[in-house]
Every structure is written in structure tokens, then in C-alpha cells.
Amino acid sequence: MGLDMYLKAERYVSNFMQDDTPFYQELVNAVRRNTAATIPDYTSGMQSMTISVQLVYWRKVNQVHRWFVENCADGVDNCKASQVGFDELEELVGNCHSILLSRDMVRNGETTEGELLETCNELLPPQSGFFFGSTDIDVWYFDDLQHTYDSLTAVMKWLKAEREAGHYWDLIYQASW
């Protein structure tokens, strides 16, 4: 039990989209090799599919969950999937980066812990909830933000490369508890 959070990418591929045809045929063959039942030939029925890839998993990172709910789910926290835009991901990464820089500035004596807490509560405040984890701004909070920053930076790099190749993915955030 607890707050489990997922960011996934989905891409629709079709036998009818000329650029997707070889990729689509490889996917159909992979599905056939990994299923017990016989799947019809792609030319007679299975003409399209949606690929879903889990990109990031978080556990009880309530400050990030709160951000997704406020920025991607119109403030409604109901465990339903929410679309996430690339610009929104960039904003979240920027918020994580700002907080992590402020933490380092405290370590170097360049700012105070009070100013750091103010930055955290302004950009990514913790959220209490049923089995949502700690609301303390402590080492775990910063470790979770580092994980978020590293993971989402890699995701954004991958998405940019995919876009340059003409492949577009929908990003979806969903949590459960």
C-alpha cells in the first residue's frame, strides 16, 4: 500500500502509416513470438496497436505527485491517467534543478536553510495523504528530487531524439494508492 506513481509513453503505430510499416511488422512478429495463442496475420485484422512504455516509477514521492496533480490533472487527484506535455516536463525538471542547486548552496554556505525550505515549499511542497510517505523536507526529499531530475532529464533527451526521427509519443502520468 502507498503512493505508487508512473510516467509512461504511448505511441500509436499502424500498418497504414508508411513510415511505421516496417516497425509495425517487427512489433507484430515480437508479439507473435511472445504469446501462447496464435495472433492473426497483420494483413487480416490486426492493423494497428498502441505501444506503452513505463519511463519512470516513483514510490511515495508526494511532492512530485502534487505537482503532477496541480499541473496536469486540473487539481483533481483521483488516480486517473493525465496527459503530460513536454513543456510541463521541462518545468518540473527546472523546479527540481532549482531546489537541488539551493541545497548545494546551503552546503557551500551561500544561502540559509530557511531560504532553501522556502524554495522547496514554493516550487515542490510536500503533500500529505493516505500512505503518501513523509512530508518532511529531508535527505529523502532531496534524494527523490535527484531521482526525478535524473530520470526526467533522460526521458526528455529520448523524446527529443524520437521527435527528430519523426516519432511522437504521448506522455501519461498516473498514480495509485
Residue-range domain boundaries for the chain? 4-176
Beginning with the edge strand found earlier in the chain, give each strand of the sheet holding 48-59 in spatial order.
Answer: 48-59, 4-14, 170-176, 82-84
Lowest mean pLDDT among 27-36, 40-49, 65-74: 40-49
pLDDT digit string, tens, across residues 53-71: 999 999 999 999 999 999 9
Cα dihedral: 17, 174, 6, 118 (round 10): 130
> What is residue 17's predicted lDDT score, i.e. its pLDDT?
66
Give residue 151's identity as a one-letter amino acid code. S
State the residue for C-alpha cell 516519432: 167
pLDDT digit string, tens, across residues 98-136: 999 999 999 999 999 999 999 999 999 999 988 899 999
pLDDT tier, 165 (very low <50, low <70, confident <90, very high otherwise): confident
Inform me whether the pLDDT recorded for 175 exceeds 70: yes
- 158 backbone dihedrals φ, ψ, rounded to 5°: -65, -45
Inform me whether the pLDDT recorded for 160 exceeds 80: yes
Q: What is the pTM of this model?
A: 0.88
- 34 backbone dihedrals φ, ψ, rounded to 5°: -115, 20
> What is residue 161's predicted lDDT score, i.e. its pLDDT?
95
